[in-house]
Amino acid sequence: MTLKGSRKKSKSLSPKDQKNKKIAQILCIAGIVGILIQFLYFFIKYGRLSDWWCIVIYWIIFIMPGYLADAMMVVVGGGRPLDNGKLAKDGRRLFGPGKSLRGFLLGPLTGGLIALGIHTILYWQWGTIETAVVNFVADPNVFYNFYNNDPDLLLADLSLYLLGDKSSNPSLLTFLKLIPRVFLCAYGAALGDLFGSWAKRRKNIERGQPFWIVDQIDFLSGCLILAGWFVFLPISAHVPHVLIMMIIITPTITILANNLSYMTGHKSVPW
């Protein structure tokens, strides 16, 4: 019995697909365990989760343009293939029919604009955010170990991630610094995904088949290479934890979403 809507008809998996299904499940469980370990590390080491929540916010804000770009490439994609059907020296397509010129150009552009819209809201609400942070730090039950509970230090990092600059008094000029970071992150996601597609073609992996590890890190690698230096250099105490969270959570979310889509009948394979 098939369900209405966009659900895909279930199919019996081949032995190869069964093996890949097990790998997807193992990676999903490993990612969830990794997230729990980092969570427990903060709880055991500091006795509270104030710093862990900071790491979560930094991760979400930095990677947001990349996620939006990845989603929008699917929404606005289609049409002429990016490689225009050309073959590499090995006789296989450069990227394959799944990578379109429109998706590659407009997907990150649209995702970046949406991300900038969200950052603009944060910019206009900065006064409210600032007041909330000061009140949080004033709470005797809250302590930020990375910042020695100094609200100015915490606000400086929040301003860097949310508004693009470590300024105690953010202005439109400092906000403009955010624009290159957002679009480099968005197009970095597209380039990383494109590299993953190129690598799959070189390994003669069929479209729709998994290329483990590369599939999980190509998107994130592109974001970090092009935009990471805007927020991660120079290295401070929280940076390794943000990077660890990115490496664990970003692929885990993708694998988990694919597994759930498969279990609910929205995908024919769990990857």
Contact 120, 139 (CB under 8 A): no
**Residue range 209-243, pLDDT digits in tens:** 888 888 888 989 999 999 999 999 878 889 999 99
For tokens 């730090």, the residue is 137
So what's the pLDDT on residue 11?
A: 55
Angle between the N-to-C axes of helices 101-124 and 178-202, in degrees from 0 to 180, rounded to the nearest 10 = 150
Q: Could you give the residue ranges of the DSSP H alpha helices within the chain?
A: 15-46, 50-76, 101-124, 126-138, 151-163, 172-176, 178-202, 214-227, 229-232, 239-263
Q: What is the radius of gyration, based on Cα positions, of the chain?
A: 21
Q: Which residues of the chain have pLDDT under 70?
A: 1-11
DSSP 234-247: S--TTHHHHHHHHH
* CB environment 260-271: b (16+ within 10 A), e (fewer): ebbeeeebebbb
Total number of residues shown for the chain: 271
Judge whether 99 and 199 are in contact, CB under 8 Å.
no
> What's the mean pLDDT when you consider all of the chain?
88
Residue 42 is encoded by which pair of tokens?
Answer: 């903060």
What pLDDT, on a 0 to 100 scale, did the predictor assign at position 167? 81
